[in-house]
Amino acid sequence: MKLDQAIEKRASIKKFSPKEPKIENIIEAIEAANRAPSPGNLSILRYIIIDDEETKNKIAEYTRQEFTKTAPFIVIVCSDPKDAIRFYDTRAETYVKHHVGAAVENFLLKITDLKLASCWVGAFSDTLKKELKIPDNINIEVILPVGYPAANQETKQKNKAKIYGKLFYNSFRNTFKTGREMVRRDDI
């Protein structure tokens, strides 16, 4: 699949088929995430692949997202920020978040390319960390249920707001150029 197609097709899917994807596909998507830009090329992210039903039920409970337990796999994206903190001090948290966003988007685009589906879940109870035996110095960043979309699940991306009104030229809220014509702030 071409990149533009994957971007257009990527959608948040919350209904999964019981058909289980190959674990190699999940690992391939994690490999894509691992190629995302990172601050100072540091190895910050860690990944946990979960297929245990009891653990998936606990994740659904701790996220208050019942659909997560219906996915054949759940990938937990974690960060180990110690090196980022050592190199970047107060900016480390921001840089780690940048890295997480880039990595998760790579993951989601690869999942789409593999004709699988996922949904970015960012809200969860801190109790999940204890349940998964994650050390105190490691942070859970994102939870990604993964599987084939259910037959009745619409896989179309929801409409996004147009970029007009968000796109500026040289400074915030300044007019911008489209081709040769100048568009004024009042026109957007």
Q: Which class is 3-152 in CATH?
A: alpha beta
Q: Within 13 Å and on the Cβ side, how many CA atoms surround 4? A: 0
Identify the pLDDT of residue 171. 78
Q: Within 10 Å of residue 93's Cβ, how many Cβ atoms? A: 15
Hey, how many other C-beta atoms are within 10 angstroms of the C-beta on 48? 15
> Which pLDDT belongs to residue 153?
60
Q: Give which of 144, 127, 131 is closest to 73, Cα–Cα.
A: 144
| Average of per-residue pLDDT values in the chain | 89
Paired tokens of 74 = 């759940």
Domain ranges of the chain: 3-152, 158-188
